[in-house]
């Protein structure tokens, strides 16, 4: 029999205002097992906690019930108190009489009655509580960063600088991500490559960082501190260790008409290629869908010209299994597909381009060497129209676009408009906008410079239709401030397409059991207080995979995620959750029902010897739960047909006792 | 307050990560709902064994509601999908036994939906109250 102490908190007037705490304490005094019952103004305060400690000692308590605020608030506090008083921390139960009683019920009689019932249920549960000891698990002091954009690179560099080994997995042949495609960056207009490529080189040369480029995560197992990740190194048909990146193979490759994805298909690359001059690792990759040798065995030019002998047409995908303590997701974003936006004629005219394509057009390393030329005829555009919020803030058109604001478009459009006017002052530049959103350091000043110093014409209103007519693009839009319709015969139209999470994020989230919101952005453990952690322990978020972000924000979040990872990896062992499933071997009949429903693969089977009453030994197959892997959902307990499986801390008889107490 | 007004007894099983937090949020926002609702915290809605529901009805509960995370949002990835299937089965069996459909409910309430929690509870209590006491499954030996 337990010796239970009941402590009813007033929480100032928060509880005492609508619950007669004295009456609650008195009523619970006569419950089975209760030997002591009292009330106090603030149980969570030091004197309140001392009161609990004293009572544990004076009344030799074995269990504690605190009638107070939500266990989500102070369960940990009172468990620590119990622990300090020499009691097992899991002998504490909280009756939630604030959030779920005093705050929602105005009548003191009703509130008091309900508080007594909730207290009674907690007492009934504590009567059946058993001391629990959390298991400890070691921490593999290595981190995995998925995605090699600026977010992934920054996170990896910060973790590596703290002395831990980091692996970066990047699906493309080079790291660098979207930032490598950009020309200049707002609001300072420094060139993206000048600030990114040194970081890429730093990452490649760091002794603690390994880069798996052209690789993908194929499976994730394990749990915080002990992840096992299988990485698929896609065959690039070039031996990375031997290739010097000289580019001789690229020059000689006869397959010249492969759309270059780095320039968004605006020019061509060869079947064997290096994405861009500063690629890291700078090694060639063969595109198996374009290479004649790989498709029908006729060619082999690259192998002939490669003096290093790096070409290997027989290369196969390679699977590498690695162990990590923490995983950082940095999968980034992509512009949305504009296939559903027929009104903007994106698919009908070469001169309607996205902002990312515009970035490549103005980039010195781009298809036009930085000259702003129309993709259709290579002429210089005299009139450019920028359309903002293409697919962003689509509250009424969510089947086409996204409901959220993509956050970066206002600023990069101002940048594009400004740079265009700066390079080509004779060009007329119009921007159609819903609102201009510039909340950031030096952002609004930047936008005003575009309008005031560079004479960019901003028109508040949306574009209804873009019709290609001859060489021109007729842009029909509305000017809300002047209350009139406008028609502009533009030479080039740039659409600020909304951004969405990378397509690889959803399957990755499933592998990591990390949750996502309806837009496939990863959700954070807490939107304000734990913004760089996923709710799944050991999984951290960096960059635009968590929500639209510009570069400064991405870098700050990347460093924040790194700090969290470093905090985790500096621990020698992790204390687990003791509220896990356990199986009664004597009752288990080895049917595998529990194994099938377990989302974590925590249940395995083993053959165990049982000594029978007639002194013979029988071998039976029984379930065994790995407490380090089990997360304590309890799904198996319901699936178990024989009742052998139970969940510590929420045992069948404990919940039954609560039901009984409530229905008394 | 009326004397002897019929008050149904409602047992609510709430998952720790979404619905229990939603109930806490209802409290934080002082969103009023009937005191007849008594919440039992479970780690996941899939922890709710059908026997708990049967036990509640046996013990004289007039309605049982199970609240979990929205589909796709389960903290344990797939627990609420199991709940959905199990409870569909259980509720239809209970209906066959004479426990009306309105006495049982499965609802998805996220940690952000305090208002939905309160509204759901108000609605549920009202529906159950309209049905009156649960006589079908009650074990009279449990009555004092």
Domains of chain A, by residue range, sit at 4-126, 142-226+321-332+502-569, 248-305, 334-500, 581-648
Is residue A165 a contact partner of residue A208, using CB atoms and an 8 Å limit? Answer: yes
Task: Look at the block and give the residue holding tokens 């008195």.
Answer: A26
Assess whether the region A4-126 and the region A581-648 belong to the same CATH fold: no
DSSP 8-state code for residue A523:
P
Tens of pLDDT along B76-89? 878 999 999 999 99
Per run of 10 residues, the mean pLDDT along chain A (length 664 residues) is: 94 94 96 95 95 96 96 93 95 96 94 96 96 91 97 98 97 96 94 95 96 96 91 96 94 94 94 95 95 93 94 95 97 95 93 96 93 94 96 84 95 96 95 95 96 96 94 95 96 96 94 85 82 89 96 97 97 90 93 89 89 90 88 94 95 96 90
Q: Which residues pair with A64 in a beta bridge?
A: A5, A92
Query: How does residue B2 score in pLDDT terms, banded at 50, 70 and 90?
Result: very low
Tell me, which fold does domain A142-226+321-332+502-569 have in CATH?
A: FAD/NAD(P)-binding domain (3.50.50)
What is the ipTM for the molecules in this complex?
0.95
Show residues of chain A in contact with B109, CB under 8 Å: none
Is residue A291 a contact partner of residue A258, using CB atoms and an 8 Å limit? Answer: no
Instruction: Give Cα A261 to chain centroid, integer Å.
Output: 26
Show residues of chain B in contact with A516, CB under 8 Å: 72
Q: Is A476 in the B-facing interface, judged by CB distances under 8 Å?
A: no
Which residue of A72, A104, A632 is in closest CB contact with B31? A104
Query: How does residue B1 score in pLDDT terms, banded at 50, 70 and 90?
Result: very low
**Which chain B residue shows the shortest CA-CA distance from A515?**
B73
Which of B25, B32, B46, B53 to probe the A interface (max A CBs under 10 A)?
A: B46
**What is the pLDDT at residue A5?**
96
Tokens for A87?
């009691």
Contact (CB<8Å) B118/A660: no
Query: How does residue B144 score in pLDDT terms, banded at 50, 70 and 90?
Result: low
Q: What architecture is domain A334-500?
A: 3-Layer(bba) Sandwich (3.50)
Contact (CB<8Å) A105/B32: yes
**What is the pLDDT at residue A220?**
93
Domain ranges of chain B: 10-132
Chain A stretch 104-133, residues whose beta carbon is closer than 8 A to a beta carbon of chain B: 104-107, 109-111, 113-114, 117-118, 121
Q: Is the pLDDT of residue B135 over 50?
A: yes
Contact (CB<8Å) A599/B50: no
Contact (CB<8Å) A535/B75: yes
Rounded CA separation A217/A483 (Å): 53
Residue A222 Ramachandran class (φ > 0 left, ψ -120 to 50 alpha, else beta)? left
Is residue A266 a contact partner of residue A361, using CB atoms and an 8 Å limit? Answer: yes
Closest listed residue to residue A220, CA positions, set A534, A511, A504, A509: A511
**What is the pLDDT at residue B143?**
64
Distance (Å) from the C-alpha of residue A115 to the closest C-alpha of chain B? 10
Q: Which residues pair with A285 in a beta bridge?
A: A273
Task: Look at the block and give the residue holding tokens 């199991």.
Answer: B82
Rounded CA separation A98/B25 (Å): 11
Chain A stretch 157-196, residues whose beta carbon is closer than 8 A to a beta carbon of chain B: none
Contact (CB<8Å) B42/A101: no
Return the ∠ at Cα A541 (arms to A145 and A525), rounded to 5°: 140
Q: Is the peptide bond before A281 cis (omega within 30 degrees of 0)?
A: yes
Q: Is A243 exposed, middle or buried (0-12, 13-18, 19+ CB in 10 A)?
A: buried
Q: Which CATH homologous superfamily contains domain B10-132?
A: Lumazine/riboflavin synthase (3.40.50.960)
What's the half-sphere exposure (Cβ side, CA atoms, 13 Å) at A61?
Answer: 31
Task: Look at the block and give the residue holding tokens 């139960």.
Answer: A93
Contact (CB<8Å) A632/B38: no
Show residues of chain B in contact with A100, CB under 8 Å: 23-24, 27, 39
Rounded CA separation A489/A646 (Å): 72
**What is the pLDDT at residue B4?**
59
Show residues of chain A in contact with B73, CB under 8 Å: 515
Q: Is A655 in the B-facing interface, judged by CB distances under 8 Å?
A: yes
Distance (Å) from the C-alpha of residue A99 to the closest C-alpha of chain B? 4
The helix or strand, by DSSP H or E, that contains position A286, with its residue range, turns out to be strand A285-286
Q: Which CATH homologous superfamily contains domain A4-126?
A: Lumazine/riboflavin synthase (3.40.50.960)
Q: Is A55 in the B-facing interface, judged by CB distances under 8 Å?
A: no
Is residue A409 a contact partner of residue A447, using CB atoms and an 8 Å limit? Answer: no
Domain A581-648: assigned CATH number: 3.30.70.3270
Instruction: Give Cα A141 to chain centroid, integer Å.
Output: 21
């Amino acid at each position: 029999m337990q010796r239970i102490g009941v402590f009813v908190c007033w929480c100032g007037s928060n509880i005492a205002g609508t619950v007669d705490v004295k009456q609650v304490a008195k009523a619970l005094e006569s419950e089975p097992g209760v030997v002591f019952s009292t009330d106090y103004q603030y149980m969570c305060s030091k004197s309140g906690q001392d009161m609990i400690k004293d009572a544990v000692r004076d009344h030799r308590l074995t269990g504690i019930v605190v009638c107070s605020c939500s266990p989500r608030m102070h369960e940990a506090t009172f468990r620590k108190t119990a622990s300090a008083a020499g009691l097992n921390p899991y002998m504490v139960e909280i009756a939630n009489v604030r959030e779920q009683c005093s705050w929602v019920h105005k009548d003191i009689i009703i509130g008091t009655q309900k508080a007594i019932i909730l207290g009674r249920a907690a007492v009934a549960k504590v009567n059946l509580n058993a001391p629990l000891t959390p298991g400890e698990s070691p921490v593999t002091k290595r981190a995995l960063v998925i995605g090699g954009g600026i977010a992934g690179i920054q996170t990896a560099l910060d973790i590596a600088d703290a002395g831990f080994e980091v692996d970066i997995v990047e699906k493309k042949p080079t790291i660098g991500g979207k930032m490598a495609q950009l020309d200049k960056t707002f609001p300072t207009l420094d060139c993206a490559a000048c600030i990114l490529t040194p970081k890429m080189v730093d990452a490649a040369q760091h002794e603690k960082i390994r880069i798996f480029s052209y690789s993908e995560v194929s499976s994730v197992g394990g749990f915080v501190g002990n992840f096992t990740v299988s990485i698929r190194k896609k065959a690039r048909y070039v031996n990375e260790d031997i290739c010097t990146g000289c580019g001789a193979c690229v020059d000689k490759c006869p397959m010249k008409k492969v759309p270059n994805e780095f320039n968004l298909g605006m020019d061509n690359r060869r079947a064997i290629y290096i994405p861009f001059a500063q690629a890291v690792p700078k090694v060639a990759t063969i595109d198996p869908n374009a290479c004649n040798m790989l498709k029908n065995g006729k060619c082999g030019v690259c192998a002939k010209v490669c003096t290093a002998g790096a070409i290997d047409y027989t290369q196969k995908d390679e699977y590498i299994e690695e162990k990590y303590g923490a995983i950082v997701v940095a999968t980034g974003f992509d512009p949305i597909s504009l296939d559903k936006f027929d009104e903007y004629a994106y698919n009908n005219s070469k001169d309607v381009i996205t902002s990312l394509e515009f970035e490549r057009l103005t980039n010195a390393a781009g298809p036009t060497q930085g000259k702003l030329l129309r993709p259709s005829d290579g002429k210089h555009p005299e009139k450019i129209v920028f359309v903002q919020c293409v697919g962003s803030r689509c509250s009424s058109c969510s089947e086409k676009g996204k409901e959220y604001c993509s956050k970066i478009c206002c600023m990069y459009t101002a940048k594009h408009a400004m740079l265009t006017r700066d390079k080509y002052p004779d060009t007329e530049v119009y921007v159609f906008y819903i609102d201009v959103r510039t909340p950031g350091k030096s952002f609004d000043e930047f936008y005003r410079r575009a309008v005031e110093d560079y004479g960019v014409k901003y028109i508040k209103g949306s574009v209804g239709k873009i019709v290609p007519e001859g060489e021109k693009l007729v842009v029909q839009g509305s000017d809300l401030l002047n209350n009139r319709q406008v028609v502009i015969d533009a030479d080039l139209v740039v659409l600020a397409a909304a951004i969405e999470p990378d397509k690889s994020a959803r399957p990755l989230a499933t592998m990591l059991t990390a949750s996502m919101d309806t837009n496939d952005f990863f959700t954070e453990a807490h939107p304000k207080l734990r913004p760089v952690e996923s709710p799944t322990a050991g999984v951290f978020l960096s960059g635009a995979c968590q929500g639209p972000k510009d570069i400064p924000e991405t870098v700050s979040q990347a460093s924040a995620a790194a700090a969290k990872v470093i905090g985790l990896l500096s621990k020698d062992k992790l204390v687990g959750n003791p509220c896990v499933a356990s199986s009664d071997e004597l009752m288990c009949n080895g049917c595998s029902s529990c194994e099938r429903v377990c989302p974590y693969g925590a249940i395995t089977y083993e053959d165990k010897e049982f000594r029978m009453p007639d002194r013979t030994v029988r071998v039976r197959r029984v379930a065994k739960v790995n407490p380090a892997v089990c997360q304590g959902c309890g799904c198996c307990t319901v699936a178990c047909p024989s009742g052998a499986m139970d969940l510590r801390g929420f045992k069948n008889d404990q919940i039954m006792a609560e039901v009984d107490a409530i229905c008394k | 307050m009326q004397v002897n007004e019929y008050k149904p007894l409602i047992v609510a099983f709430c998952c720790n990560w979404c619905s229990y937090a939603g109930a806490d949020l209802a409290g934080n926002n002082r969103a009023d709902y009937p005191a007849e609702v008594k919440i039992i915290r479970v780690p996941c809605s899939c922890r709710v064994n059908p026997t708990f529901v049967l036990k509640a009805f046996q013990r004289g509960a007039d309605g049982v509601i199970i609240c979990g995370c929205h589909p796709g949002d389960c903290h344990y990835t797939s627990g609420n999908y199991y709940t959905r299937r199990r409870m569909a089965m259980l509720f239809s069996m209970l209906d066959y036994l004479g426990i009306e459909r309105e006495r049982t409910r499965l609802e998805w309430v996220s940690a952000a939906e305090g208002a939905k929690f309160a509204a759901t509870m108000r609605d549920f209590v009202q529906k159950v109250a309209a049905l009156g006491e649960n006589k079908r499954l009650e074990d009279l030996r449990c009555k004092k």
